[in-house]
Amino acid sequence: MGRRDECCDMRGMLSFLILFLLSKKAMHGQEIAEELEQRKGIRPSPGTIYPALKALKEAGFIREQKQGKTILYRLTPQGERALKASKERFCKMFVGVYS
Amino acid sequence: MGRRDECCDMRGMLSFLILFLLSKKAMHGQEIAEELEQRKGIRPSPGTIYPALKALKEAGFIREQKQGKTILYRLTPQGERALKASKERFCKMFVGVYS
DNA sequence: ATATACTTATCGGGCATCCGATAAGAAGGC
DNA sequence: GCCTTCTTATCGGATGCCCGATAAGTATAT
């Protein structure tokens, strides 16, 4: 059950968060990692972020766009639909949690 | 990655949700399962809910109170602290997700 | 007491997530 | 070319969440 004052580690939300972040603007991997660091407190390792991106790509939710040294990830229309659906589930699930 | 329009299964939030529900009012197991069913769409099986309750109890976050046939679960002060901390992490993590 | 119905509990296993370490690729400086 | 630096990618492994099936406990009814 993790550290002393934690009831869960909130796994299983990474893809959702990534999709959400990419819906705000297209980003490359390190940018996503940085944003996640601000939100979660710890920076996800490359072994976390890139497999997640790969899975999202294979699901057709994001696509890549080479940009010099880096790769820009952005949502596909299908990814937007998936985010919309997941967001609804999320909101229904956590009604009232926001203080 | 689950069904077609899903980016993640939102696992890893069960303990958090249970703690949150119990902060509203003390409940017994089936009541919790029922509430979770409304929020998630599917009813968690006994094999899901009771191990979770057990872990929360062993962590000192909830305590039991026999009530005839059923057991009433309620938060401990430590559980309230844990919920508060987790809630803060949760809110920081998902700022802006609520449409 | 026996049966029934309901709640609570346990066990084994599957599966996705996540991490650390390591490698591969790409650009720029010398 | 070669070295450095940064980004991207892969692999093995560990964790832990969750489920289905099954068992155990408890009260009520007949």
* Domain boundaries, given as residue ranges, for chain B: 14-91
Report the top-level CATH class of A14-90.
mainly alpha
Please report the sign of the dihedral spanned by the C-alpha atoms of residue A54, residue A55, residue A56, residue A60.
positive
CB atoms within 10 A of CB A20: 19
Q: Provide the residue type at A19 as one letter.
A: L
The pLDDT of residue A14 is: 93
Give the residue-averaged pLDDT of A14-34.
95
pLDDT in tens, B47-90: 999 999 999 999 999 999 988 889 999 999 999 999 999 999 99
3-state secondary structure of B67: strand
3-state secondary structure of B46: helix
Q: What is the fold, at CATH topology level, of the domain defined by B14-91? A: Arc Repressor Mutant, subunit A (1.10.10)
Taking CB atoms and an 8 Å limit, are B39 and A93 in contact across chains?
yes
CB atoms within 10 A of CB B63: 15
pLDDT in tens, A52-90: 999 999 999 999 998 888 999 999 999 999 999 999 999
User: Which nucleotide is the nearest neighbour of A9, by CA and C1'?
Assistant: D16
The pLDDT of residue A7 is: 76
Give the residue-averaged pLDDT of B10-29.
93
Taking CB atoms and an 8 Å limit, are A15 and B1 in contact across chains?
yes
Report residue A95 as tokens.
């009604």
The pLDDT of residue A63 is: 95
CA of A78 to C1' of D16 (A): 31
Q: Which residues pair with A64 in a beta bridge?
A: A73
